[in-house]
Structure 1
Amino acid sequence: MSEMIRILLADDHAVVREGLRALLEQQPDMRVVAEASDGPTALRMVVGETPDVIVLDMKMPGATAVETIEAIKQQRPRTQVLVFTSYAEDSQVRDALTAGATGYLLKDALAEDLIRAVREVNAGRAWLHPQAQRQMLEWMRRPPSQVDSLTSRERSVLILLAEGQSNKQIARNLGLTAGTVKGYVSQVLDKLGVADRTQAALLAHKEGIAPE
């Protein structure tokens, strides 16, 4: 039998983790060693349980998935991250891979695809869902945009700003302080090269990263 792959499941839905555990532990070379419902817990588990692969959702409470991936790779570079989520927006795929994820799989994938993806990323080989591949190709073909210079957190702030939310509302939605949000807004305006929130919002709508 192949060497055992130690897996950490990071998803805020217990029923998803339960289903993943049941599926993965049917494989003779896989064992789920820990579960986490948010980014900070996942990071602690990485340090304590030293998993080989983390199956990570992009939408969890606390730190953003991109921040969690970056922290995981800093703490344990040899641990591979397989994003397993419901969305494949080009910015999400790009940010996850840039942060250090080795694979990106959507939750509509077949069970056999998930199992193969875990084995592939454990071996250090990239694995992308077909939709994620298309998004990356489309992004690579697009002309460079000012928005591409934003971090994942700055992009989240811009989207909420474009929805007309105040700094206090953005802070509440992202779990940050109003002062921290004010700093992010300043960074966003500077990177986009715009003078105020209105111009930033117009640019966000033009680039298609904010809802109409």
Structure 2
Amino acid sequence: MNKVLIVEDHVLIRMSLKLMLQELDKNVSIHEVEGFEEALRAMGEHQFDLVLLDINIPGGMGTQMPVLIREKHPATAILVCSSLDEEQHARRYLQSGADGYLSKTASKEETMAAISSVMNGNKYVSEHVQSKLLEQAQQGKKAVVRLSAREREIMYLLIEGKWTKEIAHMLNISGSTVSTFKARIFEKTQVTSVMELFVKINAGEVE
């Protein structure tokens, strides 16, 4: 049974999200709070599989919110649901540790697809935002970066949302070795986040 925390101060939006979650999983356990301090307390008492996080909430701290959640709960998926412009804000929140960024104007179908995506360990942004990110990558396109077999293996695990400890366990290597490979991959591809790496892969700039 999945456990989900909804962090949203508008009751109608909470109700809507709750209905969609129950449609995706009739056995889902849902906890609702209105502010970020309440969210941190709830996460201190329960282990959630997914956090649906609004930005404009009481006690909100902008991009620091995903950072704080990720530091203490690295395995929890984070989907930001916001009325703020996707093109201006999606990249910043993804770089801060969110797994996805969804507009509150998204359709029911897109919202459910976004929830399913991040719950399955993937990243999510709308097709429109993804095309903009790819366009930006194409504009500054450089020569294709070729990685070693081991670097590619670790790169794709990072893209899937796996964390250092998980990768180390899966590949039977130390966490420090994973960190070294990650730093090397970021250096070779000239990126500073997994989201930027994802964009470069989709743009065909990494092999």
The TM-score normalised by the length of structure 2 is 0.60
- Alignment match, 2:107: 110
> Pick from 113, 122, 126: which aligns with 1:125?
122
Q: Cα gap change, 1:61/1:28 in structure 2, threshold over 3 Å: closer, same or farther?
A: closer
Compare 51-60 and 112-121 and name the one that shifted more. Answer: 112-121
| Greater relative contact order, per chain length (Cα 8 Å cut-off, separation 6+) | 2
Q: How far has the Cα of 1:132 moved from its partner? A: 2.9
- Alignment match, 1:177: none
How large is the RMSD of aligned CA atoms in angstroms? Answer: 2.2
- Alignment match, 2:51: 54
Q: How far has the Cα of 1:140 moved from its partner? A: 5.0
Q: Cα gap change, 1:136/1:59 in structure 2, threshold over 3 Å: closer, same or farther?
A: farther
Q: Cα gap change, 1:141/1:89 in structure 2, threshold over 3 Å: closer, same or farther?
A: farther
Letter matched to residue 17 of structure 2? L
Q: What does the per-residue CA deviation read over 1:154-185, in whole Å, with 9 as the maximum and x for residues that have no partner?
A: xxxxxxxxxxxxxxxxxxxxxxxxxxxxxxxx
Q: Cα gap change, 1:79/1:138 in structure 2, threshold over 3 Å: closer, same or farther?
A: same
Larger CA Rg, structure 1 vs 2? 1
Q: How far has the Cα of 1:136 moved from its partner? A: 3.4
Letter matched to residue 105 of structure 1? L
Which whole-Å CA distance do the structure 2 matches of 1:27 and 1:89 have between them? Answer: 25
Residue 81 (structure 1) aligned with residue 78 (structure 2): yes
> Pick from 12, 18, 27: which aligns with 1:15?
12
Q: Secondary structure at the match of 1:128?
A: coil
Which whole-Å CA distance do the structure 2 matches of 1:87 and 1:73 have between them? Answer: 22
Report the count of equivalent residues.
Answer: 140
Percentage of pairs with the same residue: 28
Which whole-Å CA distance do the structure 1 matches of 2:137 and 2:55 have between them? Answer: 22
Which whole-Å CA distance do the structure 2 matches of 1:86 and 1:69 have between them? Answer: 17
Structure 2: state its 5+ residue gaps: 141-207
Q: Secondary structure at the match of 2:74?
A: coil
Q: Cα gap change, 1:29/1:61 in structure 2, threshold over 3 Å: closer, same or farther?
A: same
Contact 1:6 1:51 (C-alpha < 8 Å) held by counterparts: yes
- Alignment match, 1:93: 90
Which whole-Å CA distance do the structure 1 matches of 2:133 and 2:38 have between them? Answer: 29
Q: What does the per-residue CA deviation read over 1:113-159, in whole Å, with 9 as the maximum and x for residues that have no partner?
A: 2222212111210111123324534665788xxxxxxxxxxxxxxxx
Q: Cα gap change, 1:42/1:131 in structure 2, threshold over 3 Å: closer, same or farther?
A: farther
Query: Where does structure 1 differ by over 4 angstroms across 4 or more consecutive aligned residues?
Result: 137-143
Letter matched to residue 56 of structure 1? L
The TM-score normalised by the length of structure 1 is 0.58
Q: Cα gap change, 1:140/1:30 in structure 2, threshold over 3 Å: closer, same or farther?
A: farther
Q: Cα gap change, 1:135/1:93 in structure 2, threshold over 3 Å: closer, same or farther?
A: farther
Structure 1: state its 5+ residue gaps: 144-212
